[in-house]
Structure 1
Amino acid sequence: MAQIIKIQDCISRYEQDPYHYINQFIRLKKQRWQSIKEIAEKKKDSLHYDKEAADDETVGKRKKTFTLKRKKEASDINKGKEADEWFNGLDGETDESLIARIPAAGEELVSFFKEYVYEFQLKWASSTISDISRLSREIKSDKILHILAQQLPDSYFIMYRPVLQV
């Protein structure tokens, strides 16, 4: 995925320290992909386990234990990963609702991840730690920007209708 570094006249993190954020994006994207893959695998395993548990007499006890274990694993994935904070909080979404949206299948997982990173890129390219610029609906729904960001490799940078100060 290409990196969106500037959107119109919005403030951007890349203006402050481009080298830091360019490298951080690639590193954190890889880390987040691994954690989302792990969550998807655990969901897939839990679906398989739930089917087996339904046939067993001790469904209630096992399910309760497994649910507690799954909640603990989900919190462990998110706990202590300060680097992942840049992904958290997309439109006020909680970790639990994000985990619930993650599909267990391969191709669906890849498209989910691309959409997730694209939403984040829009947020990151229009904000800094202290300031946030509002994006218009036109920008959020622009198909060309969407396709470019998802189809180009990480080493490409996108400036969407930039307004630059000379």
Structure 2
Amino acid sequence: MAHLVKLSDYVSRYQIDLNHYSSQFTRMKKERWYYIKAEWEQAQNRLEEIEPDEAPQQKLLNKWLQHPIWNSIKSWKIKEAPFLEKDDFRSLDDSLQKKRQEYLNSVFESQITWASSSLGERSNLDEGFFQDKWLKQFCIDIPENYFLFYEPIFYLKNAEIEFEILLISPTEILCLTILNGEDLSVFEASSERFWIEYIHKKRKKRLSPLLELTRMEKIVQQIIKQKNLHTEIRKVVLSPNSIIDNKLKGSKVEFVDKRNFKLWKEKLIKHPSPLKKSQFQITSTLLSYCQTKVMEDGEEVEEITETEK
């Protein structure tokens, strides 16, 4: 589960101490899963240890099946089923996988809480983020050796600049934009300002996602260069539900659509490197240029950013 270090312009605990809160989050989620799994295993053991007296119907059935008449009926096979119905053990019908999903949902909520509040401050959180499928997918599916910026707002030269998604891996920065389309959509990728979306024999103009990616890349390069930091920056267009017909030649942009999204995601998840010092430095630097608004007496107050200090 990735570290959600910045969400929109909300106050983030990671901005206070990236090293401390990244390690604390890792410890928190491991401990939470340990106790959930241990509780589930204990409940399973308690169910197995229930005496027959606690299930009188089962005991009666067993006695009836031992009658001599059943010895002559060799072809009949009766599967014994427990008759236990106790409120205390309703949750035992849940599989461990269901428990794990409940755990993932609870940690996702914690990720949003950590990215929208600190111990002494909070932001005016848009509850819609809890239902954001892409935010949830990146937070849950991407491993903890990644730092995630989701729709952050950077502040440069007295101007607010909205980003889409940044993923900071141990070896590179990924600038991501999501190109939403229908299941049968085909996007014609070109160097023009507008792309063409073909859907149900109709053509529709769509603003090229390359414009956003180019802007994100330039700003990120500018920020890390000022701090003498260096890493590879990769630009990615994601369209998991549609097809991208790439007609660009020599483009350094990676196009990921419904045909290769699963493979792309698997490679991302299997990144073998642990968190690195340079990764912390780059993430901290980017965080210092992010816009942050906190709540004071019911009103939003803008905090000072790196460029204003």
TM-score normalised to structure 2 length: 0.37
Deviation at 1:156, TM superposition (A): 0.8
Q: Distance in 2 between matches of 1:19 and 1:101?
A: 38
Question: Who is 1:37 aligned against?
Answer: 37
Question: Who is 1:74 aligned against?
Answer: none
Deviation at 1:55, TM superposition (A): 3.1
Alignment of 1:146-157 (within 5 A): 146-157=136-147
Q: Compared with structure 1, are the counterparts of its residues 52 and 124 closer, same or farther at alpha carbon in structure 2 (3 Å cutoff)? A: farther
Alignment of 1:1-166 (within 5 A): 1-49=1-49, 52=52, 54-55=54-55, 104-163=94-153, 164=290, 165=305, 166=307
Kept in 1: contact 2:14–2:115 (CA 8 A): yes
Deviation at 1:123, TM superposition (A): 0.8
Show structure 1 runs of 5+ residues with no match: 57-99
- Residue 31 of structure 1 aligns with an amino acid whose one-letter code is E
Kept in 2: contact 1:103–1:109 (CA 8 A): no
1:50-98 Cα shifts (integer Å, max 9, x gaps): 5746237xxxxxxxxxxxxxxxxxxxxxxxxxxxxxxxxxxxxxxxxxx
- Residue 17 of structure 1 aligns with an amino acid whose one-letter code is D
Larger fraction in helix? 1
Deviation at 1:145, TM superposition (A): 0.4
Q: Distance in 2 between matches of 1:133 and 1:123?
A: 10
Q: Compared with structure 1, are the counterparts of its residues 50 and 16 closer, same or farther at alpha carbon in structure 2 (3 Å cutoff)? A: same
Number of residue pairs the alignment of both structures matches: 123
Question: Who is 1:65 aligned against?
Answer: none
Higher deviation after alignment, 148-157 or 26-35:
26-35
Give the number of the structure with larger relative contact order, counting CA–CA contacts within 8 Å between residues 6 or more apart: 1
Q: Compared with structure 1, are the counterparts of its residues 51 and 6 closer, same or farther at alpha carbon in structure 2 (3 Å cutoff)? A: farther
Kept in 1: contact 2:44–2:92 (CA 8 A): no
Show structure 2 runs of 5+ residues with no match: 57-89, 154-289, 291-304
Q: Compared with structure 1, are the counterparts of its residues 144 and 43 closer, same or farther at alpha carbon in structure 2 (3 Å cutoff)? A: same
What RMSD in Å do the two structures reach over aligned CA positions?
2.3
1:109-150 Cα shifts (integer Å, max 9, x gaps): 221111111011111111111112232132221110000111
Deviation at 1:44, TM superposition (A): 2.2
Question: Who is 1:84 aligned against?
Answer: none
Instruction: Tell me the secondary structure at the aligned position of residue 22 of structure 2.
Output: helix
Deviation at 1:104, TM superposition (A): 4.7
TM-score normalised to structure 1 length: 0.65
**Percent identical:** 31
Deviation at 1:43, TM superposition (A): 2.2
Kept in 2: contact 1:13–1:21 (CA 8 A): yes
Q: Distance in 1 between matches of 2:51 and 2:147?
A: 46
